[in-house]
């Protein structure tokens, strides 16, 4: 049996984290050149079909302050992992 070749690993090294609220929101965050590859990530949740993915942040985040902060940092598109995890965390904390 032939084994598929593993995908090359890509590493992301971020710059120093901002330390104040103004620094966090003053800094513009842009999509990295490999951002679209996040949509190729396969997510498997157990039990199967229990967690439904979300398409928009507001589908799972109801706190105005959090949604405002997401808007302030210009996050528009969820990664595949965020689509599943955000709602899962809310369900566990309910």
Tens digits of per-residue pLDDT, 27-86?
A: 666 777 777 777 777 888 777 777 788 899 998 888 899 899 888 888 888 888 888 888
Q: Where in the chain are the domains?
A: 37-93
Task: Give the per-residue pLDDT at 70.
Answer: 87
- Inform me whether the pLDDT recorded for 1 exceeds 60: no
| pTM, to two decimals | 0.59
Closest to 77 measured CA to CA, from 48, 58, 55, 51: 55
Alpha carbon 87 to its chain's center: 12
- Give the pLDDT mean for 10-39: 74
> Residue 61 half-sphere exposure, CB side, CA atoms within 13 Å?
19
Contact 90, 60 (CB under 8 A): yes
């Amino acid at each position: 049996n032939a084994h598929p070749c593993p995908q090359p690993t890509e590493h992301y090294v971020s710059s120093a984290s901002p330390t104040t609220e103004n620094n966090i929101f003053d800094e513009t965050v842009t999509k990295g050149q490999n951002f679209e590859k996040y949509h190729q990530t396969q997510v498997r949740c157990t039990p199967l079909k229990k967690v439904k993915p979300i398409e928009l942040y507001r589908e799972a985040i109801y706190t105005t302050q959090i949604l405002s902060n997401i808007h302030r940092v210009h996050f528009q598109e969820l990664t595949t992992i965020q689509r599943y995890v955000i709602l899962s965390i809310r369900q566990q904390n309910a």
